[in-house]
Structure 1
Amino acid sequence: MTTPFAVRGDYIQLDQLLKAAGLVGSGGEAHAAVESGLVQVDGQPESRKRAKLRPGQRVDFQGETLVLVAEE
């Protein structure tokens, strides 16, 4: 399932995105998921917990897809 996620400002950090979108319950869970290689950004595994993500990028995690869009 693909879900749009509005980004306030220029970017959102990957760990914050996973938590804000409700895909993980805590920052610790987000860090563990990224470290385990379970998160992909634009189709590639992402290992940086605090990677800066911008509108237009796609994040895949546990069967969920988030498409980042600029907040209007």
Structure 2
Amino acid sequence: MVESYPLQTEYITLGQFLKDIAEIGSGGEAKWYLQENTVYVDQELENRRGRKLYAGMTVELPGERTYHIVEA
């Protein structure tokens, strides 16, 4: 199932996105989370917490959760 994530600014970093959707508790956990889990951004494996996410991009997380970034 694909969920929409409304983007309030021009972009959001992957680490902040993971925190906003409550996948991690703090920004400091992002590095660990990305090392331990398979995360895809636009169908490419991603492990950089600073990766910028813009409207129109798709993020796939473990457990078949997918988010489509949309403009708010």
TM-score (norm 1): 0.85
- Percent identity for Structure 1 against Structure 2: 35
Which residues of structure 2 form unaligned runs of 5+? none
Where do 4+ consecutive residues of structure 1 move more than 6 Å? Answer: none
Letter in 2 for 1:7: L
State how far apart, in whole Å, the 2-side matches of 1:47 and 1:2 are. 21
Which residue of the partner structure matches residue 51 of structure 2? 51
Does the Cα contact within 8 Å between 2:59 and 2:68 map onto a contact in 1? yes
| 1:52 Cα offset (Å) | 0.5
Which residue of the partner structure matches residue 70 of structure 2? 69
Which residue of the partner structure matches residue 18 of structure 1? 18
Residues 2-56 of structure 1: CA distance to partner in whole angstroms, max 9, x if unpaired? 1100111110000000110122223233221223352110111112111010000
Q: Alignment length, in residue pairs?
A: 71
Q: Cα RMSD between the aligned structures?
A: 1.4
TM-score (norm 2): 0.85
Which residues of structure 1 form unaligned runs of 5+? none
